[in-house]
Amino acid sequence: MSHKKAIIIGAGVAGLASAIRLAVQGFAVEVYEKNSYPGGKLSHFEANGFKFDAGPSLFTQPQNIEALFALAGEPIADYFNYQSLPVSCKYFYSDGTVVNAYTNTNAFANELENKLGEDGKKLTSYLKQSEKVYNNIGSIFLNHSLHKRKTLFKAPIRKALATAKSKYLFKTLHHINEAAFTKTHTVQLFNRYATYNGSSPYLAPGMLSLIPHLEHNEGTFYPKGGMISITNALYQLALKKNVVFHFNTPVTSIIHHEDKVRGVVANNDNHYAEIVVSNMDAYFTYNHLLKDYRKANKILKQERSSSALIFYWGINASFPALELHNIFFTKDYKAEFDSLFKLKNLYYDPTIYINITSKCEPGFQAPEGKENWFVMINVPANVGQNWQSFTQRYREIIIAKLSAALGKDIASLIEVEEVLDPITIESKTASYMGSLYGTSSNSKFAAFLRHPNFTNAIKGLYFVGGSVHPGGGIPLCLQSAKIMSDIVVDDMKKKKKAH
For the stretch 3-57, pLDDT in tens is 799 999 999 999 999 999 999 999 999 999 999 999 999 999 999 999 999 999 9
Whole-angstrom distance, CA of residue 50 vs CA of residue 313: 9
Q: Is residue 271 part of a domain?
A: yes
Domain boundary among 219, 253, 273: 219
Question: Do 263 and 206 reside in the same domain of the chain?
Answer: no
- Closest to 136 in 3D by CA, of 158, 114, 151, 121: 158
Query: Domain count of the chain?
Result: 2
Contacts of 78 (CB under 8 A, 6+ apart): none
What value does the mean pLDDT of the chain take? 93
SS3 386: coil
Whole-angstrom distance, CA of residue 376 vs CA of residue 354: 6
Q: What is the pLDDT of residue 335?
A: 98
Q: What is the pLDDT of residue 272?
A: 98
Residues 380-393 have a mean pLDDT of 96
Q: 288: domain CATH number?
A: 3.50.50.60
Look at residue 155 and tell me whether its pLDDT is greater than 70. Answer: no
Q: What is the pLDDT of residue 495?
A: 79
Q: Which residues pair with 44 in a beta bridge?
A: 53
Q: What is the pLDDT of residues 257-315, one digit of tens each?
A: 999 999 999 999 999 999 999 999 999 999 999 999 999 999 988 999 999 999 999 99
Q: Is residue 450 part of a domain?
A: yes
Look at residue 241 and tell me whether its pLDDT is greater than 70. Answer: yes
Question: Do 150 and 208 reside in the same domain of the chain?
Answer: yes
Q: What is the pLDDT of residue 83?
A: 97
- Closest to 330 in 3D by CA, of 4, 40, 95: 95
Q: Is residue 48 part of a domain?
A: no
Q: Is residue 167 part of a domain?
A: yes
Question: Do 211 and 230 reside in the same domain of the chain?
Answer: no
Q: Is residue 75 part of a domain?
A: no
Question: Do 149 and 237 reside in the same domain of the chain?
Answer: no
Whole-angstrom distance, CA of residue 350 vs CA of residue 336: 7
Look at residue 68 and tell me whether its pLDDT is greater than 90. Answer: yes
Whole-angstrom distance, CA of residue 210 vs CA of residue 206: 8
Look at residue 177 and tell me whether its pLDDT is greater than 60. Answer: yes
pLDDT band at 254 (very low <50, low <70, confident <90, very high): very high
DSSP for 423-481? Answer: HHHHHHH--GGG-TTSB---STTHHHHSBPSB-SSSBTEEE-STTBTT-SSHHHHHHHH
Question: Considering Cα of 193, then 196, then 202, then 205, what sign does the dihedral take?
Answer: negative
pLDDT band at 216 (very low <50, low <70, confident <90, very high): very high
Look at residue 446 and tell me whether its pLDDT is greater than 80. Answer: no
Q: What is the pLDDT of residue 443?
A: 84
Question: Do 181 and 271 reside in the same domain of the chain?
Answer: no
Residues 120-127 have a mean pLDDT of 98
Q: Is residue 170 part of a domain?
A: yes
Look at residue 458 and tell me whether its pLDDT is greater than 80. Answer: yes
Question: Do 208 and 276 reside in the same domain of the chain?
Answer: no
Whole-angstrom distance, CA of residue 29 vs CA of residue 18: 9
Whole-angstrom distance, CA of residue 85 vs CA of residue 91: 15
Question: Do 231 and 215 reside in the same domain of the chain?
Answer: no
Q: What is the pLDDT of residue 99?
A: 98
Domain boundary among 219, 241, 269: 219
Question: Do 210 and 232 reside in the same domain of the chain?
Answer: no
pLDDT band at 159 (very low <50, low <70, confident <90, very high): low
The residue with greater pLDDT, 480 or 494, is 480
Q: Is residue 481 part of a domain?
A: yes
SS3 309: strand
pLDDT band at 444 (very low <50, low <70, confident <90, very high): confident
Q: What is the pLDDT of residue 421?
A: 97
Look at residue 135 and tell me whether its pLDDT is greater than 50. Answer: yes
Question: Do 213 and 239 reside in the same domain of the chain?
Answer: no
Q: What is the pLDDT of residue 161?
A: 47
Domain boundary among 219, 235, 264: 219
Question: Do 148 and 194 reside in the same domain of the chain?
Answer: yes
Q: What is the pLDDT of residue 139?
A: 72
Q: Is residue 364 part of a domain?
A: no
Range of the domain at 469: 5-42+226-303+441-498
Question: Do 234 and 206 reside in the same domain of the chain?
Answer: no
Q: What is the pLDDT of residue 154?
A: 56
Q: What is the pLDDT of residues 191-207, one digit of tens each?
A: 999 999 999 999 999 99
Question: Do 178 and 128 reside in the same domain of the chain?
Answer: yes
